[in-house]
Chains A and B, each alone.
Chain A
Amino acid sequence: MQDLISSYKKNLLLSILLTFFVLLFLYGIFATNNYFTWFNFKTIIRDAALYGIMAIGLTFVTLSGNFFLLSIKETAAICCVSFAMGMSTGYGVESWVGNFPISLLVTLLIGCLAGAAQGLFIGLGGNPIVVTLGGAGILYGIATWWTDNLVISFRRPNDAEWLGTGSFLGLPTITWSFILIAILAEFVLRYTNFGRKVYLVGSNRAAGKATGHENLSMAIIVCTICSALCAFVAVAFAAQMSSAQANYFSAEFGSSGDMTILVIATVMVGGNSIMGGYGNTIRTSIGAIFIAMIDNMMVLNGLNSGPRIVGVGLMIVFSILVFALYAKGSRAQE
């Protein structure tokens, strides 16, 4: 018991989050109809999975001290229309129509390229906000230009259904992907040299350079990881809807409005340091589930999208506040 209390104090922020988590869960069970059902549980982790995967990608960027990518929803937008184009038109090649692997590969390639290009400019010293705002505009522009801002749909049955709506052992495929990606990401951060470099460069870029770990390659790699995961989510989402449009991730995504803000919120609510060098993907995953739970509860209580977006905003403010207070007390760096 003593140990429990002392470890609670040591991981104050995480503990506060977990406490809230439990309280919310209890509130859900006893005060909300249809909450404690298998179906609802699946809905929650399904929602959490979609932005959780992207947030895991963004965690790498944030941990490495490169702040945020503001082009998340635009990257997802161009990737989702690219996938839909591949499924419905085969990019103009007759025999590729409906070919899942080719559509997936092309889309992931686009995602990686978008990430690498932005990472290059950030690594060369560009301000991440400015670079990715510019990147966002370009990507979104290309996506709407390419599709004339129309909905691109592809007929069912198709080869992508297993990813979009399929399930395995009772859980949706996307949820399994979330779990696997979270485990893999945490392994990479903890046990590989690359992961260690992410933390080192994130905690002090100048010292990173002095010990031979340059931010240039780091920025390119983390941005590529983040964008590739955005591409993956975009593919899964397009597969689920059997269609895609450039503005899917702006307004109609899930529930709470803007995708980029939601993903950044996930990283922040988990308690990762906004300045880099401190945090992990477990925090991000918990943040994702946390947000999904609150959002789900607001839905079940009959709130529509306006108040729910306010809710997400409040969560960001709350977590930043808690983190700032926590950081003051314990970390020598600030």
Chain B
Amino acid sequence: MQSPVLKISNISRSFGAIHALKKVDFEINKGEIMGLVGENGAGKSTLVKIISGFDNGYEGEYKLNGQVVRFETPVKAELSGIAIAQQELSLIPNMSVAENIFLAGAKVKKFATLKKLSEEAKPYLDAVGLSDIDPSIRTNLLSVGEQHLVEVARLLSHDAQILILDEPTAALGEQESRRILDMVQKIADSGKSIIYISHRLDEIFKITNRIAILRDGESQGIINTKDLNVDSLVEIMLGRELKNMFPVKPTKIKEDTILEVKNLWPDGLIEPVNFKVQKGEILGLAGQLGSGAGEVLAAIAGALQIRSGSLVLNGKEFMPSSPQQAIKNKIAYCSSDRKKDGLFLGRPIMENLTSPALEVISKFGIRSASTEQKYSKNLALEFLIDVKRLNDESGLLSGGNQQKVALGKWLSISPEILLVNEPTRGVDVGAKSEIYQRMRELADNGTTIIFASTDIQEVTYLPERVLSFYQGLLIRQFGLNDIKTTSILKQITDPFNETNL
């Protein structure tokens, strides 16, 4: 039995009253690929920050090669051989690949020609399977997947012994993901340890030796991958069966059409799409990033340019050219990036909640403070937002509560159709369940809801009909009875049998 290169025992970390980590244990052996999984908010990123030296305000013991360590800065962690590739790329797009690889670290030379750098970069690029790439080209000419590989090559150039890869495939299609997985395997074979974080459970099962599971800041143990299957892993991650998180589905599909999408061709799709939406149903658009599901939603809301097509809303032909027009026709759209265009972060929650409905709460353009108070209080109560905090800046809320505000504000216009892109991105388990509950209640009261999601669980358990998208194509429709995790997963990852996962 070899001793682990990195061992963490009893680590706790709290931020004020919030305990992000509670007595967590973690370890990794030499040459091992260790999966790290958990729901959003389970403490994965806090743990990773501690390991990589971004955060040293923890309690507990952190041993590297048998020695107790405490890194004050990420640079010190890196010198000890721990390197992290963040989910968001940190490459400089306008510099060459070679320059990016040697951007920082011990091997940086004061003076070097690009040719010299390229020669030196070559072995690292070979190691990550990028041997066919010229190190002197600009980084932004590479695909996103290749850029991730360059980032890993950079870590290798720092002599990293333990690599942390945080969702390297989140933004990638199937083919590029496979490339990354191959690379990870190859690096592990060369004796380096890899901590692999991903929401894609299929990947986790494919490449890892062991899996460390976190839930609500507590370790749920480190388990050999071959002793687990998807269902048992999910159950450990969530602490309950998946189904209980979701409201009960109706027993049959509604029948009167409220919206018909005719030949709609938004930017980002390969061909126009046609489908019908029934009044009072929840329709799920399933697809990975770049599949076009989100684009369809945005187009219906007038937030995205279209090449052609139209909508038939309540029997009338209609195509919004701006969100403003969509809102006038009671179509509300909640985008996937609430920080960007879902919330006014610097403004109070109350103003956020009433922002789409100023006309409703005013007379001749003048508001009375008490009407607004009452109005937003009702909305807050309906969406389980703390009414005492209505005057706080919305930016101070947690992710889950922010999402509730971003969604809840649309109730103020009593929409007929509610479009939601990624209803629960960056939201904790509890808030997730509440949001699902509310969405179902709204649908029961006659609001039509269409949502797009990359989360296979919510696509399976929330809607009564699902449309699956793959790389800009509408692939298939699922009815109430044929919605199954496995078949949807197949349709959104590999509908044409191109790969054998």
Contact = CB atoms under 8 A, between A and B. Distances in A.
B347 A199 contact: yes
* Residue in B340, B342, B347, B368 whose Cβ sees the most chain A Cβ within 10 Å: B347
Nearest to A214: B324
14 contacts: A191-B367, A192-B367, A200-B355, A203-B347, A204-B343, A206-B340, A209-B303, A210-B341, A211-B323, A211-B327, A212-B328, A212-B356, A277-B344, A278-B346
Contact of A333 (B333, B342, B395): B395
B315 interface: no
Interface string B119-161: 0000000000000000000000000000000000000000000
Interface string A302-334: 000000000000000000000000000001110
Interface in B340-384: 340-347, 351, 355-356, 358-359, 362, 365-369
B346 A277 contact: yes
B341 A209 contact: yes
A234 to B, nearest CB: 29
A212 B345 CA distance: 17
Given A207-B341, A332-B345, 12 more contacts: A191-B367, A196-B351, A199-B347, A204-B346, A206-B341, A209-B323, A211-B323, A212-B323, A212-B324, A212-B327, A214-B322, A332-B396
What size tier do the contact residues of chain B reach? 20 to 34
A200 B351 contact: yes
* Residue in B322, B344, B356, B369 whose Cβ sees the most chain A Cβ within 10 Å: B344
A145 interface: no
Contacts of B362: 192-193
B215 interface: no
Interface residues of A, number: 24
B39 interface: no
Interface string A265-277: 0000000000001
B100 interface: no
B36 to A, nearest CB: 28
Given A196-B367, A212-B323, A214-B324, A203 B345 contact: yes
A210 B342 contact: yes
B303 A210 contact: yes
B347 A197 contact: no
Nearest to B356: A211
Interface string B180-195: 0000000000000000
Contacts of B368: 191
B347 A200 contact: yes
Contacts of A204: 341, 343-346
A194 interface: yes
Contacts, number: 85
Interface string A183-201: 0000000011110110110
A298 B355 CA distance: 46
Interface in B313-339: 322-324, 327-328, 333, 335
Contacts of B369: 191
Contact of A277 (B347, B356, B365, B396): B347
Nearest to B368: A191
A211 B412 CA distance: 11
Contacts of B395: 331-333
Interface string A153-169: 00000000000000000
Contact of A192 (B327, B340, B347, B366): B366
A194 B366 CA distance: 9
Nearest to B343: A207
B409 A211 contact: yes
Contacts of B347: 199-200, 203, 277
B55 interface: no
Interface string A208-219: 111111100000
Contacts of A193: 358-359, 362, 365-367
Nearest to B348: A199
B175 to A, nearest CB: 32
Nearest to B396: A332
A200 B347 CA distance: 7
B434 interface: no
A8 to B, nearest CB: 19
B393 A332 contact: yes
* Residue in B351, B366, B368 whose Cβ sees the most chain A Cβ within 10 Å: B366
A194 B345 contact: no
Given A210-B333, A211-B356, A331 B346 contact: yes
* Residue in B358, B362, B409 whose Cβ sees the most chain A Cβ within 10 Å: B358
A290 B134 CA distance: 61
Contacts of B344: 199-200, 203-204, 207-208, 277
Contacts of A203: 344-347
A191 B363 CA distance: 11
A333 B346 contact: yes
A204 B345 CA distance: 8
Contacts of A209: 303, 322-323, 341
Contacts of A277: 344, 346-347
Contacts of B342: 207, 210
B350 to A, nearest CB: 11
Can you list the 4 inter-chain pairs with the closest CB atoms, starting with the nearest? A332-B395, A206-B341, A333-B346, A212-B324
B475 to A, nearest CB: 28
Interface in A40-78: none
A213 B368 CA distance: 20
Contacts of A199: 344, 347, 351
Nearest to A207: B341
B397 to A, nearest CB: 9
Nearest to A330: B393
A213 B396 CA distance: 24
A196 B333 contact: no
Interface in A249-291: 277-278
Given A209-B323, A332-B393, A191 B366 contact: yes
B407 to A, nearest CB: 13
